[in-house]
Structure 1
Amino acid sequence: MSRMWNPMLETMDRAELRSLQVDRFREQVRHAYEHSPFYRRKLDAAGIDPDDIRTYEDVREVPTTKKGELREAQGGEPFPYGDLLAASPEEVTEYHQTSGTTGEPVRQADSWGDWEWWGDCWATVLWAQGIRPDDRVFFPFSYNVFVAFWAAHYACERIGAEVVPGGNLSSAQRVRKMREVDVTAFASTPTYALRLAEVAREEGFEPTDFAVDTVVCAGEPGASVPGTKARIEEAWGADVYDHAGATEAGAWGFSCDGESVGLHLNEGQFLIEVLDEDGEPVEPGETGEIVITPLNRTAQPYIRFELRDEIGLRESAAVCDCGRTFRFAEGGVLGRLDDLTKVNGVLLAPTAIEDVVRSYDGVSDEYEVIIDGHEEKPDLDVVTVVAEENPETGVPASEAGDELRKRLKQTTSITCRVDVVAYESLDRPELKADRLDDRRENHV
């Protein structure tokens, strides 16, 4: 049995893949120009004729799309998709929307063909991570209007795996159901994967005794953060895999059963550019922002969408030991560009703090980061990391704080204040966790 869902695409020669991407990109631009009033105006203003797109260099002449433009385009008629829609309303079969954490949600229209494409993208992810027809996969969420777990659920059905939906259950009921029916895999945010392990112990179970051998993570970068990945693997005695996607983009990145920590770029379904702050392509070994175009999505297409995720391309041109020829993002998503911030002149990535905290067993899984101004020196930023004592290791709070402070300084080059508080003092998020609290704008 192949390790790949679509071996032809996933092992395609790089030159042939680039040619295929450019051809599909041109067709996407043509479709958007002909059917979406928003994109017709945008492309006309830039003087872009879809038929002139012949090379990869031509792609970069097409203007990028920002999230604010999407919200503005959906503010008019026809409701609820406005000028973005590139299909008749009768063709739309799926409604989803973004979380709205950075502003008004973007409403997403997909046709049935688009939904089949979503399923194919996610099947590529899950197959690469070992999900097979004999698996029983648990989804511990109510999916609501958010797309990710709906698409993953559908992809499991396409693969032939059995799906056990766990929405509308408490965390305790979920772990009991997982144990009762011997689920072999579950999909979750990294935060909630750790929380479920904690709840299992509270219920008198040891997570490593469950039948779970695969944990598929999405929604946060933690599964490509070595410290967090190791904690989840240790907690469940299972292999932990990462996935990256977005409502506007789709399932664009995935880890595999190879030895590398990071994400394959799903280049068979997306044209993915990694650009510096000047809009120039970065070299292998460098980091940049993803600008992405789904190549097979029609009802509401996105042309060169600025995803605001930062990744670093692997230096080596060698393919992963899994055999895929797609480019590889070392360490997965390094952070949201909206989350990267300067502290006393030093650029701070929240994932760097996460890796340090999760790599040190003197503290528990939960923590938070507070950035504020100094009380006496307004121009000086103060970073405080609040972590919990780990009852399993019993390291005293003072000792844990000193060690964590030292490790944070070595890794981030920032001197942090560290408060180690009693176990279970911090909130336990049920989905995604927002652990960074930047209070500097409100500091007087």
Structure 2
Amino acid sequence: MADMWNPLLERMPRDRLERRQIRKFRAQAVYVYENVPVFRRKLDRAGIAPEEIDSFEDIRAVPTTTKDELRRAQETSEDGSEGSAERTDRPTEAEPTPYGELLAVEPTAVREYHQTSGTSGTPLRQADSGRDWEWWSDCWATVLWSQGIRPDDRVFFPFSYNVFVAFWAAHYACERIGAEVVPGGNLSSVERVELMDDLEATVFMTTPTYALRLGEVAEQEGIDPAATSIERIVCAGEPGASVPGTKAKLEDRWGATVHDHAGATETGAWGYSCEGDSLGLHFNEAQFLIEVVDDDGVPVEPGETGTLIATPLDRHAQPYLRFEQRDRVRLEEPSACDCGRTFRLADGGVLGRDDDFTTVNGVLLSPTAVEDVVRQHDGVADEYKIVIDHHDEKESDVVTLITEANTQDVETVRTELRHRLKQACGLSFRITLRERGALERPELKADRVVDQRVNHV
């Protein structure tokens, strides 16, 4: 049986766990109704009495929350001052806040400001109270403890934290566990590799893309990544650490165990891999209500793929109900992992965001399927781009993989990639092979899909 941060919750029998989720969702819905006018109006329009929620069916009747909806609520009030006049502790027009109508506490209760990256539109501002920050660090401690982080670890963070929540909470979770934390912001990649090596760090946390890049930099500096003291790499921000090819390449390069994590500024650290054999993410069902639904909002069965809806059950300053995470996952039962947790899993981790999937000549293209093919091929480097365009004469779409060759035998590599991509994706790819180092090496998330078809509309 695996060692767990909170074994009482992580091993709780499913029937008790589900009753707890319903009870906590009801309490959160009542709290949101009483303190956030946007959600009060929304629940009133839907005819929902939050105190009467008593089943998962009742929960599914609660309207979902979208990021665009939250952005609008931060920009302007929907219909005047309804709701705010009923509360004396909410900010008035004389007390503007960056959080619009979404703040559920007095402005003086806010302890942390973060915002989303803005890759899908205007950044969303997120307020967290001191209570929220304790919750955040506990969520992350659940993640890190399950992945083997202990008080005797030295954990390196190789980037500047900035306004994005990213690994801020992970930093404090490491301290909560008792591990030593080394912040590596404002350093070059070379300096980060050298500092990790000099300090004999045992863990580092970053995106899969940058973990590969740091390994490449180490080799260029004459440092064998696999010979360093790094034992574990915790990845987030991209699906790569649950993509078999990427995970294998990282573990081979660094001689370390690679773990995955999934979360969001709006919701929190909701998913994590563990020390078990499953290549998937456990849903943290003690601190979140996670739903996986089809396009009609109907819950999917184990083995089926759907999109994820998340409700953080203990969010205080800026809480949400049924947030449309837009992550696509394949649901699995707890028995799919041998660690002993009773939490369900996302088999294969996050398969991608809804926005990442695109239809090419009638076929749904999965970027993670392309990533898996590229990362398993020894004849190409780590970086790649997927360019989708429209061929006017043939009246069809053209998809091109651009990557870098590791060998002089480029024709063999090109042929093998075409064949493997056809098998994995059901599409014919054009292959462009460039010299090593030709493509940009990003330090955080990598935007690898370029869809140029909009120019032909």
**Same fold flag (TM > 0.5):** yes
Residue range with higher mean Cα deviation, 172-181 or 395-404: 395-404
Q: How does 1:231-270 map to 2 (within 5 A)?
A: 231-270=249-288
Out of 378, 383, 388, the residue aligned to residue 361 of structure 1 is 378
Q: Check the 8 A contact 1:86/1:300 in 2, yes or no.
A: yes
In structure 1, C-alpha distance between the alignment counterparts of 2:452 and 2:252, rounded to whole Å: 34
TM-score norm. by structure 2 comes to: 0.95
Q: Check the 8 A contact 2:334/2:341 in 1, yes or no.
A: no
Q: Which amino acid aligns with 1:216?
A: V
Deviation of 1:298 (Å)? 1.1
In the alignment of these two chains, the number of paired residues is 439
Deviation of 1:37 (Å)? 1.1
In structure 1, C-alpha distance between the alignment counterparts of 2:330 and 2:336, rounded to whole Å: 16
Structure 2 residues without counterparts, runs of 5 or longer:
77-92
Q: Check the 8 A contact 1:367/1:386 in 2, yes or no.
A: yes
Q: Any idea what the Cα deviations from partners look like across 1:418-443, whole Å, max 9, x if unmatched? A: 11111111111111100000000113
Q: Which amino acid aligns with 2:199?
A: V
Determine whether 1:385 maps to 2:401. Answer: yes
Structure-2 residue corresponding to 1:34? 34
Q: Which amino acid aligns with 2:347?
A: E
Q: Check the 8 A contact 2:327/2:351 in 1, yes or no.
A: yes
Determine whether 1:398 maps to 2:411. Answer: yes
Q: How does 1:19-58 map to 2 (within 5 A)?
A: 19-58=19-58
In structure 1, C-alpha distance between the alignment counterparts of 2:17 and 2:338, rounded to whole Å: 19
Task: Give SS of 1:360's match.
Answer: coil
Q: Which amino acid aligns with 1:84?
A: L
Q: Which amino acid aligns with 2:227?
A: D
Cα distance change on mapping 1:317 and 1:254 into 2, 3 Å: closer
Determine whether 1:338 maps to 2:355. Answer: yes
Task: Give SS of 1:3's match.
Answer: coil
In structure 1, C-alpha distance between the alignment counterparts of 2:69 and 2:276, rounded to whole Å: 39
Q: Check the 8 A contact 1:93/1:112 in 2, yes or no.
A: yes
Q: Check the 8 A contact 2:97/2:107 in 1, yes or no.
A: no
In structure 2, C-alpha distance between the alignment counterparts of 1:88 and 1:375, rounded to whole Å: 57
Q: Any idea what the Cα deviations from partners look like across 1:359-400, whole Å, max 9, x if unmatched? A: 1111111111000001422x301000011112xxx3511111
In structure 2, C-alpha distance between the alignment counterparts of 1:317 and 1:199, rounded to whole Å: 39
Task: Give SS of 1:219's match.
Answer: coil
Q: Which amino acid aligns with 1:53?
A: I
Deviation of 1:146 (Å)? 0.6
Q: Check the 8 A contact 1:132/1:161 in 2, yes or no.
A: yes
TM-score norm. by structure 1 comes to: 0.97
Structure-1 residue corresponding to 2:80? none
Deviation of 1:79 (Å)? 2.4
In structure 2, C-alpha distance between the alignment counterparts of 1:148 and 1:362, rounded to whole Å: 33
Q: Check the 8 A contact 1:213/1:238 in 2, yes or no.
A: yes
Q: How does 1:53-202 map to 2 (within 5 A)?
A: 53-76=53-76, 78-202=96-220
In structure 1, C-alpha distance between the alignment counterparts of 2:421 and 2:186, rounded to whole Å: 39
In structure 1, C-alpha distance between the alignment counterparts of 2:371 and 2:111, rounded to whole Å: 39
Q: Quote the sequence identity (%).
A: 64
Structure 1 residues without counterparts, runs of 5 or longer:
none
Q: Any idea what the Cα deviations from partners look like across 1:89-112, whole Å, max 9, x if unmatched? A: 011100000000110000000000
Q: Which amino acid aligns with 2:242?
A: S
Deviation of 1:225 (Å)? 0.2
Q: Check the 8 A contact 1:319/1:325 in 2, yes or no.
A: no
Determine whether 1:296 maps to 2:329. Answer: no
Q: Any idea what the Cα deviations from partners look like across 1:233-273, whole Å, max 9, x if unmatched? A: 01100000000000001000000011110100110100000
In structure 2, C-alpha distance between the alignment counterparts of 1:386 and 1:291, rounded to whole Å: 34
In structure 1, C-alpha distance between the alignment counterparts of 2:331 and 2:273, rounded to whole Å: 14
Task: Give SS of 1:28's match.
Answer: helix
Q: Which amino acid aligns with 2:27?
A: E
Deviation of 1:317 (Å)? 5.6
Structure-2 residue corresponding to 1:278? 296
Q: Any idea what the Cα deviations from partners look like across 1:168-218, whole Å, max 9, x if unmatched? A: 000000000000000000001000000000011111111011100100000
Structure-1 residue corresponding to 2:389? 372
Q: Check the 8 A contact 1:221/1:351 in 2, yes or no.
A: yes
Q: Which amino acid aligns with 1:8?
A: L
Q: Check the 8 A contact 1:227/1:355 in 2, yes or no.
A: yes
Structure-2 residue corresponding to 1:318? 335
In structure 2, C-alpha distance between the alignment counterparts of 1:73 and 1:339, rounded to whole Å: 26
In structure 1, C-alpha distance between the alignment counterparts of 2:392 and 2:421, rounded to whole Å: 22
Deviation of 1:222 (Å)? 0.1
Q: Check the 8 A contact 1:362/1:395 in 2, yes or no.
A: no
Structure-2 residue corresponding to 1:422? 435
Task: Give SS of 2:63's match.
Answer: coil
Q: Check the 8 A contact 1:123/1:159 in 2, yes or no.
A: yes
